[in-house]
Amino acid sequence: MELKRVVVTGMGAVTPLGNTTEETWKNLIEGVSGAGPITHFDASLFKTQFACEVKDFNVGNYIDRKEARRMDLYTQYALAAAKMAVDDSGMDLEAVNKDRIGVVFGVGIGGIHTFEEEAGAYALTGKELGPKYNPFFIPKMIADIASGHISIMYGFHGPNYTTTSACASSTNALADAFNLIRLGKADMILSGGAEAAIWPAGVGGFNAMKALSTRNDDPEHASRPFSASRDGFVMGEGAGCLILEELEHAKARGAKIYAEMAGAGMSADAHHITASHPEGLGAKLVMERALEDAEMKPEDIDYINVHGTSTHVGDISEAKAIKDVFGSHAYELNISSTKSMTGHLLGAAGAVEAMASVMAVKEDIIPPTINHEEDDKDEEIDYNLNFTFNTAQKRTVRAALSNTFGFGGHNACVIFKKYAE
């Protein structure tokens, strides 16, 4: 059968750099850091006391406040991003066939704050007074509930589920949504991811693994991918939502088109529960599969939004994989890690980075990798690669590739290109 073409027709974002796609993109291009002291809880006793938090989020702008109290923060972020994407898409909710519109959303952890609060309350009083759990405890906590709430909000009856593959979750969601539309199973799918894990259990857990930066005296410069002095990732939070749509359906309703989704790849490192393969074998395979799926050659890619978490092994192995896949062209394309500004949004990372990749294709400009100093070089990294350090770079971007790699060795990659008839 002939596969259908898929385009991006709407986007919405809640990120540490802004509560809209436009504000987030502006700050990415300007090289703004979203990091600062943690305000969600008292982190004074933690090894890491900073993160990239969402700022000035007003849930009442998107949903009824009474309903919001029955949702974990990650679901609130998801609904806000979805609403912005729907509004941005210009879809006529009275005219579209809602049976053909689905929701595939990713989350890495889910309602960790809700779980922590309820379990903590039981630990303090439950053993003496008996369990008094909130009746909304389970519906607030479970990882699939954001996609359910989005479909309920709009009455979308198409495919609806959640992908959970740690930091690759929302890229896996985009890949699944892409394939469902290509196969004719839906006309439109709201896809992306959400996460809100900046709470004691999240920060404490990652601290125990020694995964987080502890640069408490200089949070804004803590996320420094590909720099020798990097000491771990900076936790972020938020949500991103892209509306993927079958091309002819989009054209029939006169939708604006940001870019075309060209391909997707998936692989497993099968190496270690948290560390990427030191030679980047899983990363190499996932990029090769995405290129094959898109029927593109390595030299067709002008920009890679890398996973680039600012961890020692991860940054080295991804740079090696890029050189293996792209050969001499690796030195011609641009590379950047937007995590240097947003922090690591965990299950939402892939969605926000896909949006940045789409905007790079649309606007012909590459967001930078910030916080690099000329004398801060790792001898295991080839700095002849163009990591787009510190300053955005204008160039024609015919196609962009976005990588995400999750704990457990889960790798996912998506490709977007300029739309043309």
Please report where in the chains the tokens 């789409």 appear, as a residue. 358
Mean predicted confidence (pLDDT) in 223-241: 98
Beta strands 50-51 and 334-336: pairing type? unpaired
153: CB partners within 8 A, 6+ apart: 63, 79, 82, 83
At a CB cut-off of 8 Å and minimum separation 6, what does 272 contact? 409
The model's pLDDT over 33-60, given as tens digits with 9 standing for 90+, comes to: 999 999 999 999 999 999 999 999 999 9
User: Are the C-beta atoms of residues 34 and 342 closer than 8 Å to each other?
Assistant: yes
Q: What is the mean pLDDT of residues 281-289?
A: 97
pLDDT at 1 > cutoff 90: no
Mean pLDDT value of segment 74-96:
98
What residue segments make up the domains of the chain, in order of their start? 7-417
pLDDT at 124: 83
Both tokens assigned to 204: 């404490």
Domain 7-417 matching CATH 3.90.420.10: the answer reads: no
Which long-range contacts does 133-142 make (Cβ < 8 Å, 24+ apart)? 136/70, 139/70, 140/70, 140/71, 140/72, 140/75, 140/111, 140/114, 141/72, 141/110, 141/111, 141/114, 141/115, 142/110, 142/111
Beta strand 365-366 with 393-394 is antiparallel
Q: Secondary structure of 15-66 in the HEC alphabet? A: ECCECCHHHHHHHHHCCCCCCEECCCCCCCCCCCCEEECCCCCCHHHCCCHH
Distant-in-sequence, close-in-space partners of 209: CB < 8 Å, separation ≥ 6: 274
Average pLDDT, the chain: 97
Element (H, E) at 191: strand 188-195
Sort 328 into a burial class: Cβ within 10 Å, 0-12 / 13-18 / 19+. Answer: exposed
**pLDDT tens-digit profile of 372-421?**
999 999 999 999 999 999 999 999 999 999 999 999 999 999 999 999 98
Q: Say how far apart CA 90 and CA 11 lie, in whole Å.
A: 11
Residue 167: active-site member: yes
* pLDDT tens-digit map of 235-246: 999 999 999 999
Measure the N-to-C terminal CA separation of the chain; round to a whole number of Å.
20
Q: Which residues pair with 404 in a beta bridge?
A: 412
pLDDT of residue 251: 98
Q: Of 75, 109, 83, which Cα lies nearest the Cα of 235?
A: 109
Q: What does pTM read for this prediction? A: 0.97
The confidence score (pLDDT) of residue 161 equals 98
122 band by pLDDT with thresholds 50, 70 and 90: confident
φ/ψ of residue 220, rounded to 5: -65, -25
Could you tell me which residues are beta bridge partners of residue 151?
none
Q: Hey, is 215 helix, strand or coil?
A: coil
User: pLDDT at position 184, please?
Assistant: 98
Contact 353, 417 (CB under 8 A): no
Average pLDDT over residues 337-366: 98
Average pLDDT score over residue span 314-329 = 98
Query: What is the pLDDT confidence band of residue 7, given thresholds at 50, 70 and 90?
Result: very high
pLDDT of residue 178: 98
- Average pLDDT for 102-121: 95
Closest CA to 196 of 153, 150, 146: 146
> For every residue of 90-103, which 3-state class applies, written as one string?
CCCCCCCCHHHEEE
pLDDT at 127 over 80: no
In tens, the pLDDT along 293-321 reads 999 999 999 999 999 999 999 999 999 99
Task: Look up residue 319 and give its two tokens.
Answer: 């740079």
Q: Average pLDDT for residues 6-12, to the nearest whole number?
A: 98
